[in-house]
Structure 1
Amino acid sequence: MILMKHLFSFLFIAFLSTSMFAQTTWKADPAHTQVSFGITHMGIAEVEGTFSEFEGTIVATEDDFSDAEYDIVIEVPSIDTGVEMRDNHLKNEDFFDAKNHPKMTFKSNSSEKVSEGKYKVTGDLSFHGITKPVTLDVWYRGTVENPQNGDVISGFAISGDVKRSDYNLGSDFPEAVLSDKVVIDVDGEFKKQ
């Protein structure tokens, strides 16, 4: 009888622990997510573009995503600035060298809450054969249920900037032509798995 009580207590605690600390995985919905970037040209105009092929995963145990881990993979050849000639130039050896470095990745390693729903997320950004630590701003915009299909979705805006010189990107193009600062934005919906 005592053994049964101990066994029941152990199973109950194990169940509670699993329930309380269960991880939830969220995947980016490509139809409602955009990965974009912007750079200043000649000091007077902003040129923007997108990457149309990507995957994004967020794993968290907390409902407010305060302990979230972010993993984003971008297919560099999917770059699109609306000008085919420029896209082809960005894919070649002058810039991304997409043939030899087809993926851009971000993997987080820490998250710091700065206010309600807002976080500073630090991780490793890798592309063009170089990996550097970066800190991104993350805004968790809320979670809703899609009334059409019952999917549970969470909205996130992830933004930050990097120096192209840190990644040896377009080193033949001085800052007077292309700004060293490149702004990165990921904005969209992540679906609960």
Structure 2
Amino acid sequence: MKKTIASVLGATALFFAVEGAHAATAQQASSDVVTVVQDVKNGTYKIDPHHTQVLFSVSHFGFTNYSGNFSDISGSLNLNVKDVSKNKLTIELPIQSIQTTSTKLTEELKDPNWFDAAKYPTARFVSTKSVKTGEETADVTGNLTLHGITKPVTLHVTYVGAGVNPLDKAYTVGFQITGKINRGDFGIMTYLPKVGNEVDLNIAAAFEKAS
């Protein structure tokens, strides 16, 4: 009995020690975050695919705004916080990575009637212009290639934070990016207009400094 109680107490102590370490790491990370965008390091960054999400949302027969996401994102950012006109952003996402809450729908969206992932495996955004719109915001215009068609798109970028990631020790900068596209402009016409034409994009983008 005494051994059992000791084991429980030992396990409890270990749990709180681990939780305390996690809390301390989180607190340290929070205190080290660069909150002023002008203090962020300039340079070349690569997308952190493990902590970057591309979410999309579209009206589903007028009943709901249905969402899904893409993963395994890649890309780069040439960052100049003093002169945002010099910034260059590239984002690439594999169409096969698309996910929704329905397995059937996920597979259907990869078919020729929708994204046609086999024929057009990658969507790519390449910036052509960056304009500062506030102390921590900018509009980035570029060319989006999707479903074999290239169209200009403007993304709205908001700075979130920067600093050394306490887990992998990489200097990281993060942004929240939003935008809208019309899927019909890219030849994705299935169920228009019952399933909405306008698609909302919401991207949580983390970049790790490369040089």
Could you say which TM-score interval applies, normalised by the shorter chain? 0.7 to 0.9
2:142 is the alignment partner of 1:123: yes
Question: Which structure has more helix as a fraction of its residues?
Answer: 2
Do the aligned partners of 1:72 and 1:106 also contact (CA within 8 Å) in 2?
yes
Deviations 1:154-190 (Å, cap 9, x if unpaired)?
A: 0111110100110110x24122x21110011210321
Q: Distance in 2 between the 1:103 and 1:33 partners?
A: 16
Q: Deviations over 1:91-113 (max 9, x none)?
A: 11111011100000000010010
Secondary structure of residue in 2 paired with 1:98: coil
> In structure 2, which of residues 195, 206, 210 is the aligned counterpart of residue 178 of structure 1?
195
SS at 2:144 equivalent: strand
TM-score for both structures, normalised by structure 1:
0.82
| 1:140–1:155 Cα contact (<8 Å) kept | yes
The alignment yields a C-alpha RMSD, in angstroms, of: 1.8
Unaligned residue ranges in structure 2 (runs of 5+): 1-40
Kindly provide the amino acid, as one letter, of the partner of residue 159 in structure 1. Answer: T
Give CA-to-partner distance per residue, 1:9-36, whole Å, 9 cap, x none: xxxxxxxxxxxxx961111112221111
Give the aligned length: 170
2:93–2:123 CA contact under 8 A, matched in 1: yes
Q: Which residue of 2 aligns with 1:114?
A: 133
Q: CA separation in 2, counterparts of 1:66 and 1:31?
A: 28
Instruction: Tell me, in whole angstroms, the C-alpha distance in 2 between the residues paired with 1:146 and 1:80.
Output: 27
Determine which structure has the larger strand proportion and give its number. 1
Residue from 33, 45, 51 that aligns with 2:70: 51
Question: What does residue range 1-193 of structure 1 map to in structure 2 within 5 Å?
Answer: 24-62=43-81, 67-169=86-188, 171-175=189-193, 177-193=194-210
